[in-house]
Amino acid sequence: MPRVSAEHKEQRRQAILDAAMEVFIGKGYQLATINDISAHCNLSVGALYRYFPTKGEIMLTLVEERLGRTPATFARLTEKAGTPWERLVSCVNLFTSALGVRHPSTGRLLLVTLTEAVHDSEVRRGLHGRFKALREYLSTIIADGIAAGMFRPDADADTLATLLLCTADGGTVYWVTGTPNLDLRTLRSMMLALLRSYLMPDASDEHH
């Protein structure tokens, strides 16, 4: 038999993860089966098991690779945005625009993962790692603004970063569950207004 290339193996692995993500979102983790996933990616159950020995391993990989990469993605897309304030604005814009795409699958995966984290300590640790990395990134931006004299010197960078993440994840949960009267443009404006009023109480429109 011809040897399968590393590139082909990785493509098949990602196809399994894509399929599992769709199945978990559609049926929920607890109801989803390996048979569902194998059918969705057109692989035999035996072939799937060569990549992931259990459904739990697939879930943990999704948490690590699809949710865990969020901090690095945020950093890559916002770290060169300019001043600390412009970087914060870029983070808020990225969050609200990501929710507004046609199929916000990552947000739905987060919702499924939050449910499973209640029961699974490994999934919980994965979510904690994601939260910690995002909080540290946002906190660093705020600390940079304090050091530069742009933000008030007594601002609590860690707590504000935590509040931002709680707002973002809470908004994600409500958005992906189709909660009425949740307008992303209004949410974005209010998040920025709250940040501005706390960090720059005397800011002029030039910081908008």
- According to the per-residue pLDDT averaged within each range, which of 1-15, 69-83, 124-138 is highest? 124-138
102 and 80 in a common domain: yes
107 and 141 in a common domain: yes
**3: pLDDT confidence band, cut at 50, 70 and 90?**
low
195 and 105 in a common domain: yes
Long-range contacts, 141-144 (Cβ 8 Å, 24+): 141/84, 141/87, 141/88, 141/91, 142/84, 142/88, 142/199, 144/84
173 and 108 in a common domain: yes
pLDDT of the residue at 97: 87
Asked whether residue 63 is assigned to any structural domain, the reply reads: no
111 and 43 in a common domain: no
Counting the structural domains of the chain, the total is 2
Helix or strand run (H / E) with residue 78: helix 70-78
Question: CB–CB of 150/200 below 8 Å?
Answer: yes
φ/ψ of 58, rounded to 5, equals -65, -45
Asked whether residue 207 is assigned to any structural domain, the reply reads: no
90 and 28 in a common domain: no
- pLDDT tens digits along 168-184: 888 888 888 888 888 88
Domain CATH for 194: 1.10.357.10
Asked whether residue 61 is assigned to any structural domain, the reply reads: no
Domain assignment of residue 31, given as a range:
6-55
